[in-house]
């Protein structure tokens, strides 16, 4: 009865957590857009706009962010450095100097790498890509400069913009109203003098997976050394209707994979950009997810145990650069070694350290290639056992939650997890000296059955 209740609670939690806007593993995660007015002009001001990603494991990938807003009055953008408005709008009433953008609702995007230096400022020009704060804090920021005209020229006459929007690169973010805050203080290069902005306001944007997509974008499968059963992703875990797919041996898929691998990093970036403009081209699977995460309980030692993590890309039109994987498991507080990924603990609540952030090693496997023979990355995690909690019973060795690129993945149903053979003593199995001994015991059980 107790087991049935536990299964019901886990199933209900899994069903609700995917749709929720609040992320319990990153409760303070947000993107903050800060406007600092640095100087006044005859008809307005010059501001530096900074986009800070305070999300621990959700980044903005190519083709990058788009920030929009509605002007409070009849402001125009005279010029920009480090970014550009996607449309100029109707500037026909201006003679002589023509503004960069006259739209009342401008949409601004980052410039691409390699633009001339006179068009750059610090933290600009990365094609809109912003790293997750937990992965690379130095790259979790973007910035641009904007010269605003037909606006107020003092703190009292400036009206802050409203109705801010953020695409990162797709939907999912909701932005609150701009709030005037104490002016930002800056240190000079020699760190001997402080200056400050003339006026500052902040806009906070939060992410909801439910707003971003009707279905999850990844799923999880399980296997173990002590059970021959491979628990697959749920059927139609990411939705099956209105999705086109190709077979794994399709010539169309093979040509796409060869192009991406044959042209190296440039082709990978091309695939990343086009993947956000075209509908995904998925391999035909029962789960129909772009990404699958497989957790395999691989080895059991006297004082340690080892799990293998494999991430597979089933989308032939998308490369995932700077990907992140988050797993929640009670034994992740005692990681001894991670073999092929980088790793950082995610401590959301004080001393509770049951969540790990994994990501690729730079220039080695930080890019998950398009679907095909190279469309996977994998690693192994070695963990020290806690004698008071460690067990292989009731699916304890499998993660409670898994996130890929900040989106929660669909987990298998709890009652489908690989289980211990019925006649294997639980205490003895938990203390097996090695996977070889465990395999012999399991084989003997099968013979006796």
Q: What CATH class does 218-248+280-416 carry?
A: mainly beta
**What single-letter DSSP state applies at residue 118?**
G
Residue 251 is predicted with a pLDDT of 54
pLDDT at 389: 87
Answer CATH for 31-212 from 2.60.40.1180, 1.10.3720.10, 2.60.40.290, 1.20.1280.260: 2.60.40.290
The continuous run of DSSP H or E covering 163 comes out as strand 162-167
Q: What is the mean pLDDT of residues 139-147?
A: 98
Q: What mean pLDDT is reported for the chain?
A: 85
Mean pLDDT over residues 334-355, rounded? 89
pLDDT tens track for 258-278: 444 444 444 444 444 433 446
Lowest mean pLDDT among 43-47, 121-125, 332-336, 386-390: 386-390
pLDDT digits (tens, 9 = 90+) for 416-429: 998 887 634 443 34
Cα separation, 439 vs 399, whole angstroms: 23
Instruction: Please tell me the predicted confidence (pLDDT) of residue 280.
Output: 78
- Whether 391 shows a pLDDT value over 70: the answer reads yes
Would you give the DSSP letter of residue 15? H
Equal fold, 31-212 vs 218-248+280-416: yes
pTM (2 d.p.): 0.83
Q: How far is 161 from 177, CA to CA, in rounded Å?
A: 9
What is the rounded CA–CA span in Å between residue 132 and residue 61? 10
Q: Please state, in angstroms and rounded to a whole number, the distance separating the CA atoms of residues 153 and 137.
A: 34
Confidence of residue 356 (pLDDT cuts 50, 70, 90): very high
Quick check: 433 pLDDT over 70? Answer: no
Q: What is the pLDDT of residues 4-22, one digit of tens each?
A: 444 444 444 444 444 445 7
User: Given phi > 0 = left and psi -120 to 50 = alpha, else beta, which region is 193?
Assistant: beta
pLDDT for 266 equals 41
pLDDT at 21: 53
Cα(370)–Cα(273) distance, integer angstroms: 12
**Residues 166-198 pLDDT 10s:** 999 999 999 999 999 999 999 998 999 999 999
Average pLDDT on 21-28 reads 82
Q: If pLDDT is split at 50, 70 and 90, which confidence band does 71 have?
A: very high
pLDDT band, residue 347 (cuts 50/70/90): confident
* % of the chain exceeding 90 in pLDDT: 71
User: How confident is the model at residue 252, as a pLDDT?
Assistant: 54
Question: Range with the lowest mean pLDDT among 67-71, 265-269, 368-372, 382-386?
Answer: 265-269
> Which letter does DSSP use for residue 184 in this model?
P
Q: What are the domain boundaries of the chain?
A: 31-212, 218-248+280-416
Confidence of residue 247 (pLDDT cuts 50, 70, 90): confident
């Amino acid at each position: 009865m107790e087991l049935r209740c536990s299964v019901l609670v886990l199933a209900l939690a899994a069903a609700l957590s995917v749709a929720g806007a609040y992320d319990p593993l990153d409760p303070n995660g947000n993107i903050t857009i800060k406007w600092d007015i640095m100087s006044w002009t005859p008809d307005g001001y010059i501001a530096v706009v900074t986009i800070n990603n305070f999300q621990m494991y959700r980044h903005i990938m190519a083709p990058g962010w788009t920030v929009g807003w509605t002007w409070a009055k009849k402001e125009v953008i005279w010029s920009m450095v480090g970014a550009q408005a996607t449309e100029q709008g109707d500037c026909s009433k201006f003679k002589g100097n023509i503004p960069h953008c006259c739209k009342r609702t401008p949409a601004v995007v980052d410039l691409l790498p390699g633009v001339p230096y006179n068009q750059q400022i610090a933290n600009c020009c990365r094609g809109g890509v912003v790293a997750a704060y937990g992965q690379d804090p130095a790259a979790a920021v973007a910035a641009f400069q904007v010269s605003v005209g037909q606006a107020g020229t003092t703190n009292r006459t400036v009206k802050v913009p409203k109705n801010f929007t953020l695409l990162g690169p797709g939907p999912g973010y909701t932005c609150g109203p701009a709030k005037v805050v104490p002016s930002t203080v800056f240190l000079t290069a020699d760190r001997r003098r402080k200056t400050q902005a003339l006026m500052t306001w902040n806009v906070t944007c939060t992410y909801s997976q439910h707003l971003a997509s009707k279905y999850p974008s990844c799923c999880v499968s399980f296997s173990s050394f002590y059970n021959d059963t491979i628990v697959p992703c749920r059927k139609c875990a990411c939705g099956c209707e209105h999705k086109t797919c190709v077979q794994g041996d399709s010539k169309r898929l093979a040509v796409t994979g060869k192009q991406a691998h044959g042209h190296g990093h440039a082709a990978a970036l091309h695939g990343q950009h086009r993947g956000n403009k075209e509908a995904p081209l998925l391999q035909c699977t029962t789960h129909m997810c772009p990404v699958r995460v497989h957790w395999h309980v691989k080895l059991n030692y006297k004082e340690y145990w080892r799990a293998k993590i494999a991430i597979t890309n089933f989308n032939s039109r998308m490369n995932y650069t700077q990907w992140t994987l988050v797993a929640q498991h009670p034994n992740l507080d005692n990681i001894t070694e991670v073999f092929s990924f980088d790793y950082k603990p995610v401590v959301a609540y004080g001393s509770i350290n049951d969540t790990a952030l994994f990501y690729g090693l730079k220039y080695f496997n930080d890019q998950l290639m398009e679907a095909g023979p190279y469309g996977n990355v994998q690693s192994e995690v070695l963990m020290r056992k806690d004698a008071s909690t460690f067990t292989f019973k009731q699916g304890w060795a499998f993660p409670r939650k898994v996130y890929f690129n900040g989106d929660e993945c669909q987990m298998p149903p709890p009652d489908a997890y690989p289980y211990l053979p019925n006649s294997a003593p639980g205490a003895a199995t938990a203390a097996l000296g090695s996977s070889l001994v465990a395999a012999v015991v399991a084989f003997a059980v099968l013979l006796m059955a």
